[in-house]
Amino acid sequence: MIESVLVSLAASTRPLLVCDVDEVVLEFLDPFDAYLNSVDHRLHPDSFRLTGNVRHFGGEAATAEAVDAFQEEFFRTQNKWQKPARNARETLDRLSAGADVVLLTAMPPRHQGVRRTLLDLLGFHFPMIATEEPKGPVVRQLIADRGVPAAFVDDIFTNLHSVRAHAPDCLLINLMANDIFRTMAPDPGERVHKAESWLEAERLIRRHFGQD
């Protein structure tokens, strides 16, 4: 899967934009809460995590195993629930006029078919890599030795820090679609820029790419 993306990028001299999917390109938290409601649970925004915050309508917290099982079923049927994040499609369409866009999702490969179909249905026709490997080495491979400017957008700090370690010149942007959880997020760490919206992310990316 990464091989075909590498082949398509090999001759490109355009800047590279690598984007996570859940909470960046597609909403995850609101649709996951809608799914949970369908099985008599709710996601309570009490702190910046899922485990402990998923509770039965009666108040009892779901175990970590139960949360894993809910996520598995949610991703299996994601096309019923997930929607584009606000301004994601329009912004990526604009940016893709002057940059190569690659979607990098930490989805287990068994769910990649339904995700690809959903992304295409919603108009995100960008190449996608689904892997549970750390993202830093993947981004480094995508940049390769082409010397192009690169930017990486993700809501999860460990992914941003992985890219920081493996692709030191890559612009790092922390973006999270969900307003409530975003306000609870801790500081994203050194060299990670926090964007409140796709429009703010676009300004940062264009400046880094010399396209502002």
Residues in contact with Mg ion by the rule CB under 5 A: 20, 22-23, 155
102 backbone dihedrals φ, ψ, rounded to 5°: -130, 135
Q: How far is the CB of 209 from Mg ion (least distance, A)?
A: 22
Q: How far is the CB of 159 from Mg ion (least distance, A)?
A: 7
Q: How far is the CB of 23 from Mg ion (least distance, A)?
A: 4
Closer of 36 and 148 to Mg ion (Cβ): 36
Closer of 82 and 95 to Mg ion (Cβ): 82
Q: How far is the CB of 179 from Mg ion (least distance, A)?
A: 15
Helix (H, G, I), strand (E, B) or coil at 40: coil
DSSP state string for 140-207: HHHHTTS---EEEEES-HHHHHHHHHH-TTSEEEEE-S-HHHHHH-----TTEEEESSHHHHHHHHHH
CA dist 3 and 9 (Å) reads 10
Would you state the structure tokens that stand for residue 14, as one six-digit string?
Answer: 């355009």
Q: How far is the CB of 36 from Mg ion (least distance, A)?
A: 18
Closer of 56 and 134 to Mg ion (Cβ): 134
Closer of 152 and 209 to Mg ion (Cβ): 152
Cβ atoms of residues 19 and 128 within 8 Å: no
Q: How far is the CB of 28 from Mg ion (least distance, A)?
A: 6
Closer of 37 and 158 to Mg ion (Cβ): 158
| 114, burial (CB in 10 Å: exposed 0-12, middle 13-18, buried 19+) | middle
190 CB neighbour count, 10 Å cutoff? 8
Closer of 23 and 27 to Mg ion (Cβ): 23
The two most distant CA atoms of the chain are separated, in Å, by 57
